[in-house]
């Protein structure tokens, strides 16, 4: 039911209104804290990838990098004193290039140095071309309790077109091993691939479902700037066909019992990725490693950091005890849009109180824009929940422009 547009259903919270001499930003409750660990090396750079990843060209400097990550965390501890770390995510690059011993050393250091929750979700990304049964067992023994596999496709032709180092057989073997060693695991899939048909996209979904993954991520292939595909575009399916693929994938996964809880994320009940949920709820995260980003809420400001991006530059600067390349406070005026940019990706949206907790600003300030989006069929509004409609999720960029 559409709420009357003249009634201020979200009154300003007293704590959100600054009086003369007060700082307009005062964060009295810290968000959930996550730890992100970036492993920047890959066997080969994929032509579509715009992440901070670098071909290793041989052996990676594992011992030096592990020591640098631990020193990086130590240097950041004053910013997170007393705050429990609820999730850890090893991303890349290809974290599975590290040995289980290195992952064990890192997790042990996290437990010793930071307040790592005993029940913390600890995810590691893995490439099917870099794993074996013993390695999966080693990661699990080290404390990793959630695996994310970069499958992308189970079709050999499409994998070749994507520049992946694994084939269909390796992808299937990796998915099988993931289920044997991890109760919680994710399979990454892409659609809208070069010369892909809708039937082929759905065939990938069926193959993935045969391994009963608790979580699936399904992304449309896009041509990102500064990638090989951007310079040399492949022959991709046209937009309407990709939209048809998306709708067919969503319908098939819904029928299989997976909730599309975020734009590209699907999960069985209770199996959502807690680390990514914290991002989408505009929570805090400390990022360590080459090119890692941090967002940390202090008493009176939100701080963003970026580590030195290139692995060599990161290691060189870590020898001098200087991991940061950039550090700046987020302008208060940009917090509302940054919050909405994340939270409106979620099917369930957000509680009005969360907006004020994360931005320290009253929701009434954006109430006219919220009501305009609702009038356009893009949002549903209630005192308990603000969430995108099906139309709003399908046209998320249009919805976000209402608040830009």
Q: Say which residues have a Cβ less than 8 Å from residue 302's Cβ, sequence separation at least 6.
A: 25, 27, 295, 296, 329, 330, 335
Indicate whether 79 and 217 sit together in one domain: yes
Of 262, 280, 298, which residue constitutes the final position of a domain? 280
Query: Are the C-beta atoms of residues 27 and 21 closer than 8 Å to each other?
Result: no
Task: Return the biggest CA–CA distance within the chain.
Answer: 66
In a domain, 10, yes or no: no
Q: State the pLDDT confidence band at 28, using cuts at 50, 70 and 90.
A: low
142 and 274, same domain (yes or no) = yes
Statement: residue 386 has pLDDT above 90: yes
What would the 3-class secondary structure string for 168-196 be?
HHHHHHHHHHHHHHCCEEEEEEEECCCCC
Do 264 and 369 have their domain in common? no
Rounded to two decimals, what is the model's pTM?
0.92
Does 206 reside within a domain?
A: yes
Looking at the fold, whether 350 and 276 belong to one and the same domain comes out as no
**CB burial readout 76-90, b (16+ within 10 A) else e:** beeebeebebbbbbb
CA 79/CA 297 separation, integer angstroms: 9
Does 209 share its domain with 355? no
Measured distance CA(2)–CA(371) in Å, rounded: 9
Torsion angles phi and psi, residue 127, rounded to 5: -100, 130
**Domain CATH for 380:** 1.10.10
What pLDDT score does 29 carry?
77
- Encode pLDDT of 143-155 as tens digits: 999 999 999 999 9
SS3 387: strand
The pLDDT tens digits of the residues spanning 304-338 come to: 999 999 999 999 999 999 999 999 999 999 999 99
- In order of 93, 138, 309, 333, the CA distances from 38 in angstroms are 7, 19, 10, 30
| Residue at 3 is within a domain | no
The set of residues, in sequence order, having a beta carbon less than 8 Å from that of 379 and lying 6+ positions away, is 349, 370, 373, 386, 387, 388, 389, 392, 399
Q: Using DSSP, state whether 34 is helix, strand or coil.
A: strand
Domain count, the chain: 2
State the CATH number of the domain containing residue 88.
3.20.20.70
14 within domain boundaries:
no
Q: How far apart (Å, rounded) are the C-alpha atoms in residues 108 and 88?
A: 12
The pair of structure tokens assigned to 131 is 């794993």
Whether residue 11 is predicted with pLDDT greater than 90 in this model: the reply is: no
Q: Are residues 71 and 185 in the same domain?
A: yes
CA–CA gap between residue 362 and residue 355 (Å, rounded): 8
Q: Which domain does 191 fall in, by range?
A: 33-280
Residues 255 and 386 in one domain: no
pLDDT in tens, 244-291: 999 999 999 999 999 999 999 999 999 999 999 999 999 999 999 999
Of 151, 185, 165, the closest CA to residue 42 belongs to 165
Shared domain check, 213 and 348: no
pLDDT at position 365 over 50? yes
Q: Is 282 left (phi over 0), alpha (psi -120 to 50) or beta?
A: left
Of 254, 280, 306, the last residue of a domain is 280
Do the domain assignments include residue 253?
A: yes
Do residues 237 and 351 both lie within one domain?
A: no
Number of residues written out for the chain: 404
- 49 belongs to a structural domain: yes
On whether both 259 and 343 belong to a single domain, the answer is no
- Residue at 391 is within a domain: yes
> Can you name the residues that pair with 69 across neighbouring β-strands?
none
* Residue 269 and residue 340 in one domain: no
Is residue 248 within 8 A of residue 4, CB to CB? The reply is no
Specify whether 194 is located in the same domain as 83. yes
Q: How confident is the model at residue 24 (pLDDT cuts 50, 70, 90)?
A: low
């Amino acid at each position: 039911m559409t709420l009357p547009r003249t009634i201020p259903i979200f009154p300003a919270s007293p704590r959100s209104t600054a009086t003369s001499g007060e700082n307009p930003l005062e964060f009295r409750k810290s968000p959930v804290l996550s730890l992100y660990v970036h492993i920047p090396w890959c066997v080969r750079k994929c032509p579509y990838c715009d992440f901070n990843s670098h071909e290793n060209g041989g052996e990676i400097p594992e011992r030096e990098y592990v020591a640098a990550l631990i020193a990086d965390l130590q240097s950041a501890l004053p910013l997170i004193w007393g705050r429990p770390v609820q999730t850890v995510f090893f991303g890349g690059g290809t974290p599975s290039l590290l040995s289980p011993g290195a992952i064990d050393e890192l997790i042990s250091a996290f437990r010793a140095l930071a307040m790592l929750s005993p029940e913390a979700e600890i995810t590691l990304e893995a490439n099917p071309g870099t794993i074996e049964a013993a390695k999966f067992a080693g990661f699990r023994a080290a404390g990793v309790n959630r695996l994310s596999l970069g499958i992308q496709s189970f079709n050999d032709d499409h994998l070749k077109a994507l520049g992946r180092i694994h084939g269909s057989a390796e992808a299937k073997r990796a998915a099988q091993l993931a289920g044997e060693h991890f109760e919680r695991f994710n399979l990454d899939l892409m659609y809208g691939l070069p010369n892909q048909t809708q039937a082929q996209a759905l065939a990938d979904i069926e193959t993935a479902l045969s391994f009963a993954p608790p979580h699936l991520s399904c992304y449309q292939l896009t041509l990102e700037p500064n990638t090989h595909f951007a310079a040399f575009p492949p022959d991709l399916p046209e937009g309407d066909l990709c939209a048809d693929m998306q709708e067919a994938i969503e319908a098939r996964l819904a029928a299989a019992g997976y909730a599309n809880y975020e734009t590209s994320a699907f999960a069985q009940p209770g199996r959502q990725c807690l680390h990514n949920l914290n991002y989408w709820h505009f929570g805090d995260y400390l990022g360590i490693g080459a090119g890692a980003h941090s967002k940390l809420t202090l008493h009176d400001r939100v701080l963003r950091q970026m580590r030195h991006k290139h692995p060599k530059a990161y290691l060189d600067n870590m020898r001098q005890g200087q991991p940061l390349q950039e550090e700046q406070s987020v302008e208060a005026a940009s917090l509302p849009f940054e919050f909405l940019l994340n939270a409106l990706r979620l099917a369930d949206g957000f509680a009005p109180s969360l907006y004020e907790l994360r931005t320290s600003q009253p929701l009434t300030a954006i109430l006219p824009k919220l009501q305009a989006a609702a009038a356009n069929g893009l949002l549903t509004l209630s005192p308990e929940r603000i969430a995108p409609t099906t139309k709003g999720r399908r046209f998320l960029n249009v919805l976000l422009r209402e608040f830009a």
